[in-house]
Amino acid sequence: MTGRALVVGGGLAGCAAALELARAGHPVRLLAAGPGATAMTGGSLDVAAASPGVPHLPWRDPLRGTALATDGRLGFLLSGASLHPYTRLHGAGGRDELVAAARDAVDRLRSWLAPSQLGVEGDLGTNRLLPTAQGTLRITDHALSGPAEADLTGSSRVLIAEAPGVEGWDARGCARTLIHEIEALGLGPLPVEVVALRRPLSRGAQTAARVAARLDGPDGDRILTEALHGIGTAGEVVLLPQVVGLRRTRERLRGLATGGRRVGEVIAFPPHALAGYRLQCALDAALAAAEVEVIRARAGQVRVDGERYRVDPAAGQSFPVQEADALVLATGRFVGGGLVAGPEGVREPLLGLPLSDPEGRRVDGIPAHRSVRKGYGNPQPLYSAGVMVDEELRPVAAPGRGLWAAGEWIGGFDPARERTGLGTALITGVAAGRRAAAHLDAGAP
Ligand SMILES: Cc1cc2nc3c(=O)[nH]c(=O)nc-3n(C[C@H](O)[C@H](O)[C@H](O)COP(=O)(O)OP(=O)(O)OC[C@H]3O[C@@H](n4cnc5c(N)ncnc54)[C@H](O)[C@@H]3O)c2cc1C
């Protein structure tokens, strides 16, 4: 007889924890109030992207001046960000242990997404150069199908497709900024041009999601083939907004990669991004395939009774109280709903746990109007607010031995500046799920 496992949070961190528990043979329930940050992601999967202005996430080795990929960056992160979740988990084991854990977690993610034909391309030893819709470049390690195919590394020319009618897409603005980025980073010569598609992708003004839904229809492949006919030759990359279907994106982009050209999507942001939606759909399919029981509702409070946890429904929710011997909390931050801000300050609603910034200073209970950054260019303290954890990912101030934290809910890093968002969710989600499974295997309670 196995103890009961419960995960709260249905973003990447919660799904990863639930899927690892299920893989270990434990029946698992997952409570999810709705989409969080995972469903909004732009398209890169950053284990540790280079971040301008963050010394521990450089893209060049500060001493040698040579290019630095994520496997090297993680060494700087471990020594420069003592409260980052990666450092909490792998600070003692060092960079090689963290790199191995990241590789293993990405392999797990690939296996969950493969049945939905959503790919995770890249590796920790190579920088990928991914253009955003605004024309800036993200220097990172992994990307999801769509933006993954838009990697500029090794390309001879960038062709940015005008797609009149697709809301939020400005090919010329994207090109102008991209030219400056390429020059500023010393990546040239790499010509950038704007090209007209042979036929429109949208019917009048339409959102990216509507265009993508149309391209999922029976004529979608033909429309794309005709629109891109004769555009781009060997070595060139054609950039589109995120419109290449809500599903089968990788298959279509590969089908369009004829004559040595590549076709990919730029990294985009809500409401013009579909990468997060595709990711969330693929994760939900993986939960169903693993027979994880999903309750789509909001938890209100977690109570601790000895070694057992009881999770009450939030006001207006009607599920029965959930009991668990192993509980993983992966409720995200402000976007996900794991932290809330009000006139009385920021707070963690499920257990009322203390919240800290990356220096370990308490930030809960400080009214938002007093949580101001020290000066222009300095980090905003609330962006890094989160629950502090020990080396086992147990929240330091939480009662009991059967509770683990995962994802953005964990403090010690600022996802807006330190580009480790989905990587942190994945690596801590896998680790929390495995620890919870080991706890149950050991006979908890
Ligand atoms: C606009 C945007 C773009 C981004 N782009 C990128 C990118 O390109 N690459 C990258 O690596 N990272 C990116 N990030 C960061 C990344 O998306 C997040 O770091 C990551 O998705 C966090 O995952 P999570 O599972 O911890 O939280 P979330 O995805 O926020 O999930 C939290 C979950 O908890 C649930 N929840 C919360 N409270 C409760 C409750 N009381 N009861 C039940 N359920 C609850 C929510 O409903 C949700 O399901 C981006 C973030 C944003 C906001």
Q: In this predicted model, what pLDDT tens digit does every residue of 4-13 receive, in sequence order?
A: 999 999 999 9
Give the pLDDT confidence of 98-110 residue by residue, as tens digits: 999 999 999 999 9
The domains found in the chain, sorted by start residue, are 5-41+277-441 (3.50.50.60), 44-272 (no CATH)
Q: Whose CA is nearest to atom 5 of ligand 1?
A: 41
Q: Ligand 1, atom 50: nearest CA belongs to which residue?
A: 41
Is 417 touching ligand 1 by the criterion CB < 6 Å? no
**d(Cα 272, Cα 385) in Å, to the nearest integer?**
27
Q: φ, ψ for residue 249 (rounded to 5)?
A: -65, -45
pLDDT tens for each residue of 117-154: 999 999 999 999 999 999 999 999 999 999 999 999 99
Q: Residue 411: CB within 6 Å of ligand 1?
A: no
What is the pLDDT at residue 358? 73
Q: Over pLDDT 70: what percentage of the chain?
A: 96
The amino acid at 355? L
Backbone angles phi, psi at 372, to 5 degrees: -105, 150
Q: Is the CB of 386 under 6 A from ligand 1?
A: no
Handedness of CA 23, 275, 160, 210 (dihedral sign): positive
pLDDT digits (tens, 9 = 90+) for 298-310: 999 999 988 899 9
Q: Which residue has the higher pLDDT, 51 or 368?
A: 51
Q: Which of ligand 1's atoms lies nearest the C-alpha of 270?
A: 1
Where residue 393 falls (left for φ over 0; alpha for ψ -120 to 50; beta otherwise) is left
The response to whether residue 10 sits with its C-beta less than 6 Å from ligand 1 reads yes
Q: Which of 82, 92, 85 is nearest to 56 (CA)?
A: 82
Residue at 267: amino acid letter: I
ipTM of the complex: 0.99
Q: Does the C-beta of 432 come closer than 6 Å to ligand 1?
A: no
| Region of 34 on the Ramachandran plot (φ > 0 left; ψ -120 to 50 alpha; else beta) | left
* Alpha carbons 424 and 74: distance in angstroms, whole number: 12
pLDDT digits (tens, 9 = 90+) for 302-337: 999 888 999 999 999 999 999 999 999 999 999 999
Q: Tell whether ligand 1 has an atom less than 6 A from the beta carbon of residue 13.
A: yes
Q: Would the pLDDT of 287 be above 90? A: yes
Cα R_g (the chain), whole angstroms: 22
- Measure the CA–CA gap between 431 and 445, rounded to whole angstroms: 20
Q: Is the CB of 339 under 6 A from ligand 1?
A: no
Main-chain dihedrals φ then ψ at residue 210, nearest 5 degrees? -65, -40
- Whole-number Å distance between alpha carbons of 205 and 164: 8
- The pLDDT of residue 70: 96
**Strand ranges for 298-411 from DSSP E:** 299-305, 308-313, 322-324, 326-329, 340-342, 345-347, 355-356, 386-387, 403-405
What is the 8-class DSSP label of residue 1?
A: -
Say whether pLDDT at 366 is over 60: yes
Q: Residue range 357-363: average pLDDT?
A: 80
Closest CA to 432 of 301, 327, 300: 327
- Strand duo 340-342 + 345-347: pairing: antiparallel
H, E, C per residue of 111-160: HHHHHHCCCEEECCCCCEEEEECCCCEEEECEEECCHHHHCCCCCCEEEE
Which residue is it, tokens 């001493």?
63
Q: What is the mean pLDDT of the chain?
A: 93
Helix (H) / strand (E) element for 294: namely strand 293-295
Give the DSSP letter string of 218-239: TTHHHHHHHHTTT---TTEEEE
Q: How far apart are CA 96 and CA 108, in angstroms?
A: 18
Which pLDDT band, with edges at 50, 70 and 90, does 1 fall under? very low
- Distance (angstroms) between ligand 1 centre and the Cα of 182 equals 30
* Spacing, Cα 277 to ligand 1 middle (Å): 12
Once rounded to an integer, what is the mean pLDDT over residues 381-390? 88
Residue-wise pLDDT tens digits, 45-96: 999 999 878 888 888 888 888 889 999 999 999 999 999 999 999 999 999 9
User: Coil, helix or strand for 187?
Assistant: coil
> Which residues in 335-362 are b (16+ Cβ under 10 Å) and which e?
bbbbbebeeebbbbbbbebbbbbbeeee
Q: How confident is the model at residue 359 (pLDDT cuts 50, 70, 90)?
A: confident
Whether 372 has a pLDDT exceeding 80, the answer reads no
CA of 276 to the centre of ligand 1 (A): 10
Is residue 19 within 8 A of residue 112, CB to CB? The reply is yes
Q: What pLDDT shows up at residue 59?
A: 86
Ligand 1 pocket check for 131: Cβ under 6 Å: no
Work out whether strand 236-240 and strand 262-265 pair parallel, antiparallel, or are unpaired: parallel
Measure 37 CA to ligand 1 centroid, in angstroms: 3
Calculate the alpha carbon distances from 43 to 153, 279, 346 in Å. 17, 9, 29
If pLDDT is split at 50, 70 and 90, which confidence band does 445 have? low
Q: Is pLDDT at 2 greater than 70 in this prediction?
A: no
Write down the residue that tokens 């109007």 correspond to. Answer: 369
pLDDT digits (tens, 9 = 90+) for 265-281: 999 999 999 999 999 99
Q: Give the model confidence (pLDDT) of 392-417 as tens digits.
A: 999 998 888 999 999 999 999 988 88
Query: Are 312 and 301 contacting, i.e. CB atoms less than 8 angstroms apart?
Result: yes
Q: What angle do CA 120, 231, 269 make, to 5 degrees?
A: 40
Q: For ligand 1, atom 33, name the residue with the nearest CA.
A: 9
